[in-house]
Structure 1
Amino acid sequence: MAKIALKVDVDTLRGTREGVPNLARTLKHFDLKATFLFSLGPDHTGWALKRVFRPGFLKKVSRTSVVEHYGIKTLLYGVLLPGPDIGKQAADEMRAIDLAGHETGIHTWDHTAWHDAVRNKDAHWTTTQMQKSWDRFVKIFGHIPATYGAAGWQMNEVAFEQLDQWGLKYSSDGRSAPNLMPYRLMLPSGKAKHVQYPTTLPTFDELIGIDGDNAFDAVQKLLKITQSNPNDQVFTLHAELEGQKLLPAFEQLLAGWLNQGHDLVTVGELHQSWEATKQLDKLAVQPVTWGEIANRSGELILQAA
């Protein structure tokens, strides 16, 4: 059957301290490895409250119980409480993931700032944010990151070019339909050197609450998509969701995928499989494209149709 890459986005201090160890224990139980992408600077989750004016944001919040998953304290960071430095306060939890053999990479420096602003920011702001994340990652782990995965699937052309300047071979920064075809981006500097592996499967928070579905209903929808599907997939989960309240549903999903015969891998292992078949030389080169995903507010990086 197909490969399904497990990509873990870690957005907050609470997600790093609580969700990440929970996921590590679950993955160890199934003898699996995943790609963990860390937010390495300040936790300003409270700034996200300004998204209340975006179309669809309130509907998403009501469906996925943001307060329950993130906690009141986290939602006050940057508003009524100072934003804690995740990389300083949760470095041990990050290093434990690395030592356990999981793939580790960069998610962002300041998750909320990046998510809400990067699309329209200039080169100086973009490269400054990215360099902060790179420097902090190397300080924590003692080695360079294996990969990158954009916060909220938000990027700009300067950010994509920075990935090449860092020498990363692959990244997962956007979304596409459940028929994975890796691709390279056409950037102002030319064809990107790194390969993009977009998230192909809907996330839990895009499925819960739709037609009254709960987390276990979302599992069945995901399993239906991957049943007898010959295409490789990338699934993005969040330490704040699947690593906490949604952990039992995520465990059911892992068991279901294994029963379907899928090979659950890291993004790096997925890249190696495509590299081994020499298919990377034939990848499409596509422009940076923005679009909407069902049940998620706002536009994000989307693979061109």
Structure 2
Amino acid sequence: MARIALKVDVDTLRGTREGVPKLLSMLEAAQAQATFLFSLGPDHTGWALRRVFRPGFLKKVSRTSVVSNYGLRTLMYGVLLPGPDIGRKGAAQMRAARAAGHECGIHTWDHVYWQDNVRERDAAWTRRQMQQAFARYTEVFGEAPATHGAAGWQMNEDAFRQIDDWGMAYASDGRGTAPYIPTIGGVPCRHVQMPTTLPTLDELIGTDGLAEDNVHTALLKLTEGPRDHVFTLHTELEGGKLAPVFERLLAGWRAQGHELVSMAAWYRGLERSGLPQLPVTWGEIPGRSGELIIQPPVR
């Protein structure tokens, strides 16, 4: 039986308070497990408006309803309204995800700040951001996190080293086709990267005739057959306006015979001997603006 690991990125306070409970209900109904990765510090979603001059950003925004997905108030955080502390205000919903039996981990401290800066920042900045998230996670859950999934699939070499220093066995910080061991300067890391293998809904909607009523069919075509996958969803999307799409995906994956699991379960069933060792690499993918961490081809 093929497996699909459901990786849930939680970016905002609204996504934490409203999207998490909605997704928990859908996952319970589908008897599916997932990994929830939380943004644990301030919500500065409004800062993302500065990306307007980034190549491809306006094209992506024009395909998706940003205001209806995120809410006008969220888009004002950090601009006209102070950024609320997600880890303080959304702790109950975070703990509810774990209480429902789902794996939980770190997404980031400050989502937009990390996504827009980490590539060019030094080790001190990187580790300070990550340690703030680690400390808040431990405060909320009373234990250390087991895994990490980078905001916007943005990392630097020091961030990969920090994952090793935390002793995490696996993480999902980029995009790719299959698990691998990242290398830095030719030296392999000690953890396994399990990249997101499927396109996200916001990357597909508005392209090639795909809309909210039929985008699930395109994704289901990609999951035909026995291959394992990692699918990234967002509480602000699949836990909001795109909830009906996600319900159709869950039903379709069940009909295809897939087991819907957390990253932890996916890792436990992984044959880790012989995984390729591949350098940390940046590149572009269809439907998303800017570069992000991608899996290079095996030579």
TM > 0.5 fold call: yes
Partner of 2:112: 112
- SS class of match (1:37): strand
Q: Which residue of 1 aligns with 2:28?
A: 28
Q: Which sections of structure 1, spanning at least 5 residues, go unmatched? A: none
Aligned to 2:128: 128
Tell me if structure 2 keeps the 8 A contact 1:54–1:297. Answer: yes
State how far apart, in whole Å, the 1-side matches of 2:260 and 2:105 are.
Answer: 18
Residue 154 of structure 1 contacts residue 174 of structure 1 at CA under 8 Å; is this kept in 2?
Answer: yes
TM-score (norm 1): 0.96
Shift of residue 192, structure 1, vs aligned partner: 0.6
Instruction: Using the TM superposition, give the Cα deviation of residue 188 of structure 1 relative to its aligned residue in structure 2, in angstroms.
Output: 4.2
Q: In structure 2, what residue type is equivalent to 1:106?
A: I
User: Does structure 1 residue 296 correspond to structure 2 residue 293?
Assistant: no
RMSD of aligned C-alpha atoms?
A: 0.9
Amino acid of the residue matched to residue 275 of structure 2?
A: L
Name structure 2 gaps, 5 residues minimum: none
After the TM superposition, list the runs of 4 or more consecutive aligned residues in structure 1 that deviate by more than 3 angstroms: none
Is the CA contact (8 Å cut-off) linking 1:157 and 1:188 kept in structure 2? no
Q: Secondary structure at the match of 1:158?
A: helix
Q: Which of 256, 271, 286 is matched with 2:278 structurally?
A: 286
The residue type paired with residue 143 of structure 2 is H
**Aligned equivalents of 2:195, 2:212: Cα separation in 1:** 23
| Equivalent position of 2:263 in the other structure | 267
Structure 1: distance between partners of 2:224 and 2:90 = 38
Amino acid at match of 1:289: T
Quote the sequence identity (%): 62
Indicate yes or no: 2:48 matched with 1:48: yes
Are 2:174 and 1:174 aligned?
Answer: yes
Are the equivalent residues in 1 in contact too, given 2:8–2:34 (CA < 8 A)?
yes
In 2, Cα distance between the equivalents of 1:191 and 1:212?
42
Q: TM-score, normalised by structure 2?
A: 0.98
Give the conservation status (yes or no) of the 8 Å contact 1:5–1:265: yes
**Map of 1:187 onto structure 2:** 184
Determine the C-alpha separation between the residues in 2 that align with 1:142 and 1:132. Answer: 15
- Count how many residue pairs are aligned between Structure 1 and Structure 2: 297
Q: Which amino acid aligns with 1:95?
A: R
Asked if 1 retains the 8 angstrom alpha-carbon contact of 2:178 and 2:197, the reply is no
| Structure-2 separation of matches of 1:212 and 1:50 | 29
Question: Within 1, Cα distance between the matches of 2:73 and 2:272?
Answer: 45
Contact 2:186–2:279 (Cα < 8 Å) also in 1 = no
Q: Deviations over 1:43-96 (max 9, x none)?
A: 000000010001110111111111110011000100010000000111001011
Q: Distance in 2 between matches of 1:247 and 1:270?
A: 24
2:222 counterpart of 1:225: yes
Per the alignment, in what secondary structure is the counterpart of residue 198 of structure 1?
coil
Q: Give the aligned residue type for 2:273.
A: D
CA distance, structure 1, for counterparts of residue 253 and residue 56 of structure 2: 30
Which secondary structure does the structure 2 equivalent of 1:237 belong to? strand
Q: Say which SS state the counterpart of residue 146 (structure 2) adopts.
A: coil
Contact 2:174 2:196 in 1 (8 A): yes
Q: Is the Cα–Cα contact under 8 Å of residues 35 and 266 in structure 1 kept in the other structure?
A: yes
Question: 1:191 offset after TM fit, Å?
Answer: 1.0
- Maintained 8 Å contact 1:104/1:146: yes
SS at match of 2:222: helix
